[in-house]
Amino acid sequence: MREMIVSELSQALHEMARGFAHFLPRIIVMLILAALGWVIAYVVKVILRSILRLVKLDKLSENAGASQLLSKAALPSPTEVLSRFVFWIAWLGFILLGVSVLGILGLQEQVARFFLFLPRLFVAMFIMFFGLLAASFFSRAALLAAVNANVPSPRVLSLAVRSIIIVFVLSIVFEELGLAEQTMLVAFGIAFGALMLGLAIAFGMGGRDLARRFLEKKIVRGKKEANEDELSPL
């Protein structure tokens, strides 16, 4: 009995030792991969950061208003965000590679899927980032133009511009990610339609006013200009 136990135990120990001995190199490989991955990811990050600085991404996003968006979310500059993001993605990739070396069943499949998904995620984030930038830039441009042209309800106009762009961007992003395509398409179709309807109504309401003013101006203009001197600012 005792011998059996001892033999079983020793056999188990043996097995374990053998298993461990069998497994150890993989762990070491995994650790090496993780370490190597960190180094490579770090180098990629540094290179990317200097490239982004060279192309003045920060200035670009500042002008577009993306930096404000980021700073509101307590995030560092776009250059930093992007390079850190790339760093983590790259390192994560290496770690997952290491994990797959361990040969744990099921995990491998997930890792493979992750790698397949990665480029799409990347593109989607890219589109999202610039889409948001564009939305913020053009909505502000519309706002300022409307204020300086003395057009009524500038903020509605600005909001409309922003919404249209964001809706459009989101639809592209989801399409790219391939998330519940059908559902999303229908949902956005409805949302888009509703928005358009709302805008149409809003413009109709405001437009009544606008049309009246326009007509007034046309008719009354002659009389008004005769009485008024135009001041040249320069």
Partner 1 sequence: MLLEARLHDGAVFRTETKVAEESYLTDDFLRQLMNVGEVDILVGLPTHNNAKTVGSIVHTIQSGILRGFPRERAVIINADGGSRDGTPELVTGVSIDDVRPASNLQALRTLHSISTKYASSSRSASGAFRTILAAAELLRPKACVVMSPESANIQPEWLSKLLRPIFDDGFDLVTPIYRRHKFQGLLITNLLYPMTRALYGLRIREAYSPEFGFSGRLGSQFLGQNVWSDETEGAGVELRFTLAAITGKYRICQSFLGDKDRIERRAVDLVPALRQTAGALFSALEPDFPVWSVVTGSQPAPTTGSDQEVLLEALRVNRKRLREMFLAGIAELESVFQSILSPSTLAELQSIAHLGEEEFRYPAELWVRTVYEFAASYQKSVISRDHIIQALAPLFRGRMFTFLTENRNASAGDVEKNIEDLCLVFERLKPYLLQLWKTRE
Binding positions for partner 1, rule: CB under 8 A: 59, 62-65, 68, 137, 140-141, 143-148, 150, 154-155, 227-234
Nearer to partner 1, 100 or 158 (CB): 158
- CA–CA separation, 95 vs 101, rounded Å? 10
Closest CB 147 distance from partner 1, rounded Å: 5
Burial of 108-133, coded b for 16+ CB within 10 Å and e otherwise, reads eeebeeeeeeeeeeeebbebbbebbb
Q: Nearest-5° angle of CA 111, CA 114, CA 118? A: 145
Nearer residue to partner 1 within complex by CB, 68 or 110: 68
Q: Quick one: 97 or 156, whose CB is closer to partner 1?
A: 156
Residue 76 identity: P
| Least gap, CB of 231 to partner 1 (angstroms) | 6
Q: Which is nearer to partner 1, 95 or 146 (CB)?
A: 146
Nearer to partner 1, 101 or 210 (CB): 210
Nearer to partner 1, 150 or 182 (CB): 150
Provide the minimum distance between the beta carbon of 134 and partner 1 in the complex, in angstroms, as a whole number. Answer: 12
> How far apart are the C-alpha atoms of 227 and 206, rounded to whole Å?
29
| In the complex, minimum distance from the CB of residue 192 to partner 1, in angstroms, rounded to a whole number | 25
Contact 190, 160 (CB under 8 A): no
Contact 82, 70 (CB under 8 A): no
Residue 211 C-beta: closest distance to partner 1, Å: 19
Letter string b/e over residues 56-75, b meaning 16 or more CB atoms within 10 A of that residue's CB: ebbeebeebbbbebbeeeee
Q: What is the dihedral of CA 41, 42, 46, 49, to 10 degrees?
A: 60
Least distance from partner 1 to the Cβ atom of residue 201, Å: 21
Residue 146 or 161: the one with the smaller Cβ distance to partner 1 is: 146
- State the minimum distance, in angstroms, from the CB of residue 228 to partner 1: 5
146-184: burial string, b at 16+ Cβ within 10 Å, e else: beeeeeebbebbbbbbbbbbbbebbbebbebbeeeeeeb
